[in-house]
Amino acid sequence: MFHRGLVISLFAAIALLVPASSALAAPQLLMPNGPALNPFGNIHLGGSNTRTLTIESVGDPVEITSFSVYPDAPGSDDFAITGDTCVGVTLNIFDTCDVTLKFTPLSVGTLNTTVFVNTTNPAADNAFGVQGTGIDPGINVTPFNHNFGNVPIGDYGTAQTFTIENDGDSPLETTSTLAGADSEEFFFVTQPGCANIEPDETCDVTVNLRPLENPGPRSASLVISNNTSEENPQTILLTATAVQGHLATDPAAIAFGNVDPYTAPAPNRTLTLSNDGNSNLKINDIDMHVGQANSYILDVAQCTDDLVLAPGDDCELNVTFKADNVLAGANNSAVSIYTSVGNSEIPVTATLIEGDIEFSTENVDVGDVEIGQSGTAVLNIYSTGTAPLLIAPDSPTIQGSSAAMFDVDVPNSCTGLTNTGLFCQAVVTFTPTSIAGKSASARFEGNFGTVDIGLSGRGVEAYANLPLDEAFGQIKVGDTKTITMRVLSNGDAPLNLDAPAVEGSDATFFSAEFVGGSCTNKVRGEECNVQLTYKPTAVGSHQASLHLTGNIDQSVPLTGSARALTPARISLKLTGPGKVKRGKTLTLKVKLKNSGETTAKNVSIRTTLPKKLARAVKPIRLSAIAGGKSVTKTIKVKVKKSAKKGAKLKVKVTASGTGFKTGKAGKLTTVR
């Protein structure tokens, strides 16, 4: 058996073996050489690894009978043969076979041993050495993660040092890298030689970050690759929040729109600047210099240079459009804002528009209008400017000696009238208080300036030629008398009359009406007639007045008198044949005539006969007989058969009633 010193010497000697020439005749094996002598490298305690080594025959055929590990070598217990393809196999020249070894280190350090190869020919027995290293490093990193907190974009955070400690029993090998989504923004401040850290030693790695561009969370990892068995790699979470002030403006653009200097001579807008980010923001400067900047007045107000706005803070500035002192059309500029986080331009736009007006005429003539009446004429108003037409609320004002007689009514539709071919109509009203021509002017004011429109008209009045009076003379009470009165139009205005009226103490005895029913629109020289009626119901002199109204107010006196009627006076005349036969009917006619003027009322006609000659006749009754009227009635007398022939039949008729004296008549007839 080999001794320990022999094993070491043999391991060194075997390592220097050189392959034999193919010309060798004796059996000979070529052992693993070079890197194969240390095939296992570093293996952690508790771990293991296997390697397969190749043996080649370089001489005569030979058979390997066994493999064995030298028991007294420092690493004998750490190596074991786990398999082979050699034992019992005859290896011819240049044949090879494999032997598999397992390395399971039980201690820290370099471990080696010798493997003996036994053959059927002792001259060919040989050996080779194997080596591996048992390692047991440990790693402890503090802190194990780190939040850099809020770091403004473009600024550096506060560097953080991470301490790597080897708390194991063998050297700790480390390599530190940065990985993760935002790793490009993290960097090593110092990264000294932490490649090899002896047990109980430490090494520091310092990391910082500088966030770029967009605000928001940042994350990366400090990855420490190492040679530990269970703690490789160590991943340290790195977090931060990239913060940045952000300028927000309200509004995003200042748009004055269309501005009419008449309604807004100097419109103003407020611009609010606020920091809606999560870091301070400093205002460096604010100005207006682009486009038509001279059309505006910029008042930075609170937003002064070097003002620092903390998150959530704001300030206000004002922009005024000099609408009354700029050219018509577009006036565009911008508010330039320079801040610590960048520059912004807020567009400022305004369009100056101007109103203009055009009238259908320069003078409105209302024409002839009756005094006390109103006449109208229309004035067309057109908008010809770029701004909607605006007429002052108290416009137009009327000026001139006859201003009180004119009025101009401007409708609401004129307000906001645009230049689209549409128009509105103002109504000019003329109400003359005296005759003759009148004139004034209407002054219109608005966003078009001042325009005067002439106003004219002529005051006229109606007049009627009437008789001085109308006298009906005397008539009887109850009679009616009619007179036709001529009314001649003789004024500048057409004559238009209301229905005629009779006024006065005796008006009930008179009446009036137009012949034809009306009297209207009678120009100078034309006439109409009034039919006047006098019908008194009482005795005496009567007076009244014909009152004509409409567009005149004139009266004509009316007079008349009435006398009483003469009393009723009834006369009777009885006629009939001179003879009548006995037993026959005698037919007589009685005529009653009222020769008075008063009506006879309740007239009763009674017939008186000799009873021996004729039978009685019933009375005849009449309700009335008007004055001057006659009434004829028939009286039939029945002659008795017993009447004596040749007797004289005397018939008497009497009329009686109310308001007259009794009248009588008689007739003598011979009975045959």
Pairing of strands 329-339, 186-190: unpaired
CB 360 within 8 A of CB 379: yes
CATH 2.60.40.10 domain extents, the chain: 4-135, 140-243, 247-352, 357-460, 464-563, 570-671
The pLDDT > 90 percentage for the chain reads 77
What is the Cα–Cα distance from 461 to 451, expressed in whole angstroms? 33
Structure confidence at residue 4 (pLDDT): 35
State the fold for domain 140-243: Immunoglobulin-like (2.60.40)
How many degrees, rounded to 5, is the angle at CA 247 between CA 241 and CA 252?
135
Mean pLDDT of 538-546: 96
* CATH class of domain segment(s) 357-460: mainly beta
Is residue 37 very low, low, confident or very high in pLDDT (cuts 50, 70, 90)? low
> What value does the mean pLDDT take over residues 333-347?
93
Amino acid present at 124: A
Query: pLDDT value at position 135?
Result: 87
Q: Quick one: tokens of 279?
A: 């870091």
Task: Quote the pLDDT of residue 21.
Answer: 38
pLDDT band per the 50, 70, 90 thresholds, residue 265: confident
Say if CB 73 and CB 112 are below 8 A apart: yes
Q: Which helix (H) or strand (E) holds 255?
A: strand 254-259
Q: State yes or no: pLDDT of 7 exceeds 50.
A: no
C-alpha 28/C-alpha 62 separation (Å) is 8
- Determine the Cα angle at 599 with ends 596 and 603, to 5°: 105
Residue 565: the pLDDT is 86
CATH no. of 570-671: 2.60.40.10
- pLDDT of res. 35: 55
Residue-averaged pLDDT of the chain: 91
Q: Which fold has domain 247-352?
A: Immunoglobulin-like (2.60.40)
Output the pLDDT for position 31. 87
- For 533, the 3-state DSSP assignment is strand
Q: How confident is the model over 350-381, as pLDDT tens digits?
A: 999 988 999 999 999 999 999 989 999 999 99
pLDDT band at 17, cuts 50/70/90?
Answer: very low
User: In whole angstroms, how far apart are CA 419 and each of 22, 296, 328, 423?
Assistant: 117, 28, 16, 9
Residue 307 vs residues 41, 249, 374, 479, 635: alpha-carbon distances, Å = 66, 16, 71, 113, 140
Confidence band for 422, pLDDT divided at 50, 70 and 90 = confident
- Label residue 34 by pLDDT band (50, 70, 90): low
Q: Taking residues 608-619, report their average pLDDT.
A: 94
**How is residue 573 written in tokens?**
């005349």
| Eight-class DSSP state of 639 | B
Local structure of 247: helix, strand or coil:
strand
Over the stretch 176-215, which tens digit does the pLDDT of each residue have?
A: 999 999 999 999 998 768 999 999 999 999 999 999 888 8
Pairing of strands 160-165, 186-190: unpaired
For the stretch 572-585, pLDDT in tens is 999 999 999 999 99
How much is the pLDDT for 292? 94
Token duo for residue 376: 């109208």
Output the pLDDT for position 468. 94
The whole-number pLDDT of residue 222 equals 96
Q: Under a CB-based contact definition with an 8 Å cutoff, are residues 176 and 205 in contact?
A: yes
Predicted pLDDT of residue 103: 92
pLDDT of residue 36: 54
How crowded is residue 333: how many other Cβ atoms within 10 Å of its Cβ? 24
What pLDDT shows up at residue 12? 40
What string of DSSP letters covers 121-180? SGGG-EEEEEEEEEE----EEESSEEEEEEEETTS----EEEEEE--SSSPEEEEEEEES
131-145 tens-digit pLDDT = 989 888 999 999 999
**Pick among 3.40.720.10, 3.40.50.300, 2.60.40.10, 3.40.640.10: CATH of 4-135:** 2.60.40.10
Q: What is the pLDDT of residues 485-514, one digit of tens each?
A: 999 999 999 999 999 999 999 999 999 999
Which of the listed CATH numbers 2.60.40.10, 2.40.30.10, 3.40.50.10490, 3.40.718.10 matches domain 464-563?
Answer: 2.60.40.10
User: Which among 318, 352, 312, 313 has a CA at the least distance from the CA of 335?
Assistant: 318
